[in-house]
Amino acid sequence: MEHRIEVDAAELSRFAPHDHPLWWGILGAVAIEAAVVANLLTSYFYLAAQAEAWPPDGVDPPALLWPTLVLFVLPLSSLTMWWAGKGSDAGRRRQLALGVTASVGLASLALVFRSIQIAEFDIRWDEHAYGSILWAVTGFHYTHVVSAIVGTAVVAVLAWRGYFTPERQLGVVVDTLYWYFVAGVFLPIYLVLYWAPRLL
């Protein structure tokens, strides 16, 4: 048997942060979580359709002020993430470190708003199925913001220590991808939790 070398891998990139298998892996994680959100929101409508009144009589829909603020803060934090990534691509380490730190700060602010708003809910989780699903969806997204924050905090620590280079920045790229998801998925959650009970 004759053996031929038809592809030489010596010159191929070992980094490829924007097209790395891990990038695809994070996309898979995003798909799973999106499916979880879809299941939760479908359950919300299923329970709403079965209920006589939604929200139940005497319960106000959650206030709009705080969640609407979050709706703007989270995309803003995505913008700083994007800006950080631009810096990382160009090898500007300071821009990267500042950008991810700003994102962590903004998302923490969003958490504060979310916490105030949760404290203002007009119903507990154990009083009615409406309260249960409201708290569950809110808690689910809250957990995701927390995990995005702590994950990005680690990226920020590494960034300030100068670990990342334009080649070695896979961590930044995949963290950003996940961040966009956490910020983006708030839109359908916002529409369902805060507008659906007003419009249905």
Smallest separation, CB 118 to other proteins (Å): 15
- H or E element at residue 38: helix 21-50
In order of 32, 136, 158, 189, the CA distances from 181 in angstroms are 11, 19, 22, 12
Per DSSP, helices labelled H in 51-125 are 65-90, 93-119
Looking at residues 43 to 82 of the shown chain, list those that interact with other proteins (rule: CB under 8 A). Answer: 43, 46-47, 50-51, 56
Between CA 29 and CA 181 the distance in angstroms is: 10
Structure tokens at 179: 């961040």
**Out of 89, 136, 166, 196, which residue is the one contacting other proteins (CB under 8 A)?**
136
In the complex, the smallest distance separating the C-beta of residue 112 from other proteins, rounded to whole angstroms, is 18
Query: Of 21, 58, 119, 199, which one interacts with other proteins (CB under 8 A)?
Result: 21
- Residues 6 or more apart in contact with residue 94 via CB below 8 angstroms: 87
Instruction: Examine residue 143 and tell whether it contacts other proteins (CB under 8 A).
Output: yes
Q: Which is nearer to other proteins, 4 or 119 (CB)?
A: 4
In a 13 Å sphere around the CA of 58, the CA atoms on its Cβ side amount to 3
| Sole window of 62-70, 105-113, 149-157, 187-195 interacting with other proteins (rule: CB under 8 A) | 149-157
Instruction: Please tell me whether residue 160 binds other proteins under the rule CB under 8 A.
Output: no
Asked if 28 interacts with other proteins (CB under 8 A), we say yes
Output the six-digit token pair for 63. 């206030």
Taking the least distance from each CB to other proteins, the nearer of 24 and 72 is: 24
Give 146's contacts (C-beta < 8 A, 6+ positions apart). 111
Q: Return the amino acid letter for 56.
A: P
Amino acid at 134: L
Q: Write the interaction track for other proteins spanning residues 101-130; mark x where CB under 8 A is met and - where it is not.
A: ------------------------xxxxxx
Q: Does residue 131 interact with other proteins by CB under 8 A? A: yes
Residues that bind other proteins (CB under 8 A): 1-16, 19-22, 24-25, 28-29, 31-33, 35-36, 38-40, 43, 46-47, 50-51, 56, 125-133, 135-136, 143, 146-147, 150-151, 154, 158, 163, 167-168, 171
